[in-house]
Amino acid sequence: MEEIGHCQIIMATRAPMLMAYPNATLLQLTKYGLEAVKLKDTDHYKVMREFCEDPKEFVDAAIVE
């Protein structure tokens, strides 16, 4: 991607390594259309951060009895 100077990736998986690619522009689909978003403001980043901080509590909270 660096050698050709441009690249477009459309992903639905929200792969964190691609999202953190240097100089990447992240666009989030909202009800108003596409909006630029910073990595740390994405829902995916927030969920992964919560999980990494306390995996057991995260999983316990996700289990519905």
52 vs 50: CA distance, rounded Å = 6
Q: Which residues pair with 28 in a beta bridge?
A: 35
> What pLDDT does residue 53 have?
96
**Does residue 1 carry a pLDDT above 70?**
no
Unique residue bearing structure tokens 């990447």: 24
Higher pLDDT, 33 or 11: 33
Mean pLDDT of the chain: 85
Q: Tens of pLDDT along 3-30?
A: 877 777 776 666 777 888 888 889 888 9
Mean of pLDDT values over 37-54: 91
Q: Which residues pair with 10 in a beta bridge?
A: none
